[in-house]
Structure 1
């Protein structure tokens, strides 16, 4: 029965992602503030309710559910949630904020309508039910059981919803995926064995379709968009980086008059304080790219205050650069390469640099984390990894991988320099918010956790950090990441 409701939807998931449709991005850690004002929310609710009423026909119901009873509110909720989610995603892309205006709702509605026209409303509903059932069942697997009231409210695993999950609970129980037990006059929801098998199948399908990868990318970008304290805290935690950025500009050979593409520019620490814009004077140009619209907005504000006109900020990703081949004399960036897919980003960097031009990067490398203060502070992350008998997952690179990918892209004269990154674990709140909520270190480890488990773990890290800072001296809490500055040339022929 479950396999019938959720056939292999991998192709449909790919089509949904290609259409720019998102389901529940609030799982990425956004607060409930902002988004839509009351009037716009009411208008969108009316439009999505009418949309579902028109498209959820008896024919679609039979095709999707066959003999199962139709969950009355789920089609309406699905349309509402998908349009709202897509609009919030568009807001992140366009402004770096979570506030949604009418134009974004219109565009989200158009995307959903186009998808339904090309596929069907039933397919869209199946995708929604697949994703949300995974959220529900994954939480039950993690916690073992959830009080029925908390489950229905979604407070442990889907706090971004503003409706009851009671109908989803009843439908899951009808399918045999969950059961409700009573203990000491309290009711709890837990997975059945059938539910565990359904979760495994859903997880495999979502993994195959790249859903979890997209989910993680949105988690990183949304957190980075909303991280207002990045500039200040970065210089506190990495005190040597202001000078090291200047050293990197010299290392890669920035010269006056060059047209330079900077990737992962964030709020402009390399562009401005690092001297990149200054180095191309008087008639050079810097095009600075970042996937975080929030960071770009802060960079433009900084640019206005400094009154520098030879820099242009562009929203984009290193894996798909919207520039012609050979457009730049130099392509570079600091602290960005480890966030990218190297097999896409390095060939793209090579493509847009002219023959004879250079590409360069300075980035942290994987480090030995078996340091007393660090193991004690971040013990919960080590405990998660220990279940797989692995070190904690992070996005940092091994020392040889960049050189190897540069060579594979056809680059020559590859040179590198060790540029270690001194890191001060000085303030528990700032450190945890910077690494975990801000730049998303260990996001691979935390992303599969349900909302409440992730928030509880972050709170625990702050509390443990307070204790560690009392036990270890400031000198004992200094950590040095290996850092790799590397440059390479695109051959002339």
Structure 2
């Protein structure tokens, strides 16, 4: 049996180099990811890189005595560069289009990584991640038609090359096999393949790969979530007024310098009243990881003519902000998407002594409601197989208070509020909750791509049936929400 070495540290170095592999970015269609010029550019550079670095010594390091498929090295370089280029497009412009500059930057990152950590390490990481994608899909479906497997249409539709060599290599290792049935052939996972999948899953989980994968998926979904504000207003009809009340409760006043986390398209910044609350004598710096959301927020700023706010791209866990600049660091509906303790420490770092840290976020809700059980049965059934509740991003009230305390905040106060959610339109509800904010993103992320898409379409169809069976007044959930605030001590350093 071929066993991967422990690649945990190698994965961390890979991410630190700004590289990704098959990140499940949105925008998959029949035309592939790139126009022909970009595809050819990446193909040529990948071929040159593989020819230079895939030496006999590297083959021995990775494969021992196993025969290497001829194009595996070139495909690995291409896929990593292609995935990284799309990821850069999301980070830089908030869209999918990759130009020559981004493609060349992605290839430079690949070549720099190879120069520092060897080509064999790059190839091992590619094999580890893609074998997980392949084996996980085979475990889910039990069998995949050979043609669908080599084209990736069921589980890796973002690829624009054949997976035939991965199929042959998996068969050589004894992890997968082909079964002929009539005139068709199917790909199946062997017992050895199941064991390999269990090992790779454990290793990737230990390395934080699945969390990283989910984060990339969430950011890419938000970048493409053009109807975010419109749908939020329809689905959460009372939340705008609750945002304004939260700002008052958090103590935001005229003339304050405020950092806003997770600003999206400015829904709290402008519509929720933050810039009005601090006024022209104050200042707001608003941060979000999704570039397209920031572009929409800047357009709104230009239209409103408000010059006491600036927008920056960044993550709450690593704020692009100097220390002790703000009177308050606040956010609405962002904390549950972060490494909360690290985000709170960063918020504490950038506020002055005595400054306020505050969050308004949703909490765990009772989903055992008739209309919801019928509508979202496919997701509930996934969880039932584990004898558990669906995995979502909703928080427990005590855990956030505990994390405020662990971050070293004082004078902590919290208040629970009720947030009305209207399940009024099947297409809009599924777009908002599933494709947009990703309420059950963690539950759906392990599904192969086609299975996930099929489940989403089923949710829309079930929603239409439920909307016919239940009155609109019955299709309402009340999510508990938490307002929580604390203060940075006067006598404590920013260092923890």
Q: Which residue of 1 aligns with 2:27?
A: 30
Q: Which residue of 1 aligns with 2:108?
A: 110
SS of the counterpart of 2:397?
A: coil
Q: Which residue of 1 aligns with 2:466?
A: 468
Contact 1:30/1:222 (8 A) holds in 2: no
Q: Which residue of 2 aligns with 1:257?
A: 255
1:257-316 Cα offsets, whole Å, 9 max, x none, are 111000000000110011111111122110000111111111111111111111100001
How many angstroms apart in 2 are the aligned matches of 1:402 and 1:30? Answer: 35
Q: Which residue of 1 aligns with 2:306?
A: 308
How is 1:64-463 mapped onto 2 (pairs within 5 angstroms)?
64-463=62-461
Q: Which residue of 1 aligns with 2:494?
A: none
- 1:182 CA displacement: 1.3
Q: Which residue of 2 aligns with 1:18?
A: 16
How many angstroms apart in 2 are the aligned matches of 1:331 and 1:127? Answer: 38
How many angstroms apart in 1 are the aligned matches of 2:121 and 2:332? Answer: 42
1:298-356 Cα offsets, whole Å, 9 max, x none, are 11111111111111000011111122221100110101111111111111111111111
SS of the counterpart of 2:82?
A: helix
Contact 2:265/2:294 (8 A) holds in 1: yes
1:56-78 Cα offsets, whole Å, 9 max, x none, are 11221122222221211111111
Q: Greater CA deviation, 179-188 or 211-220?
A: 179-188
- 1:37 CA displacement: 2.6
Provide the TM-score with structure 2 as the length reference.
0.97
Aligned positions, number? 490
1:156-195 Cα offsets, whole Å, 9 max, x none, are 0011111111111111101100111112332111000011
Contact 1:360/1:485 (8 A) holds in 2: yes
How many angstroms apart in 1 are the aligned matches of 2:117 and 2:401? Answer: 44
How many angstroms apart in 1 are the aligned matches of 2:108 and 2:463? Answer: 47
Q: Greater CA deviation, 398-407 or 264-273?
A: 398-407
How many angstroms apart in 2 are the aligned matches of 1:154 and 1:37? Answer: 19
Contact 2:32/2:158 (8 A) holds in 1: no
- 1:10 CA displacement: 1.4
SS of the counterpart of 1:155?
A: coil
Contact 1:28/1:215 (8 A) holds in 2: no
Q: Which runs of 5+ in 2 are unaligned?
A: 492-496
- 1:34 CA displacement: 8.0
How many angstroms apart in 1 are the aligned matches of 2:357 and 2:207? Answer: 32
Contact 1:34/1:98 (8 A) holds in 2: no
How many angstroms apart in 2 are the aligned matches of 1:104 and 1:158? Answer: 22
How is 1:43-54 mapped onto 2 (pairs within 5 angstroms)?
43-54=41-52
1:382-414 Cα offsets, whole Å, 9 max, x none, are 110011110000011101111111122221222
Provide the TM-score with structure 1 as the length reference.
0.97
Q: Which residue of 1 aligns with 2:483?
A: 485
How many angstroms apart in 1 are the aligned matches of 2:149 and 2:35? Answer: 27
How many angstroms apart in 2 are the aligned matches of 1:170 and 1:288? Answer: 50
How many angstroms apart in 2 are the aligned matches of 1:410 and 1:66? Answer: 51
Contact 1:154/1:165 (8 A) holds in 2: yes
Q: Which runs of 5+ in 1 are unaligned?
A: none
How many angstroms apart in 2 are the aligned matches of 1:135 and 1:41? Answer: 23
**RMSD over equivalenced CA pairs, Å:** 1.2
1:399-453 Cα offsets, whole Å, 9 max, x none, are 1111111122221222222221100000001100111000011101000000011
SS of the counterpart of 2:158?
A: coil
Pair 23,228 (structure 1): closer, same or farther in 2 beyond 3 Å: same
How many angstroms apart in 2 are the aligned matches of 1:62 and 1:349? Answer: 48
How many angstroms apart in 2 are the aligned matches of 1:234 and 1:103? Answer: 36
- 1:2 corresponds to 2:2: yes
How many angstroms apart in 1 are the aligned matches of 2:329 and 2:134? Answer: 44
How many angstroms apart in 2 are the aligned matches of 1:492 and 1:403? Answer: 20
How many angstroms apart in 2 are the aligned matches of 1:408 and 1:48? Answer: 47
Q: Which residue of 2 aligns with 1:40?
A: 38
- 1:31 CA displacement: 2.1
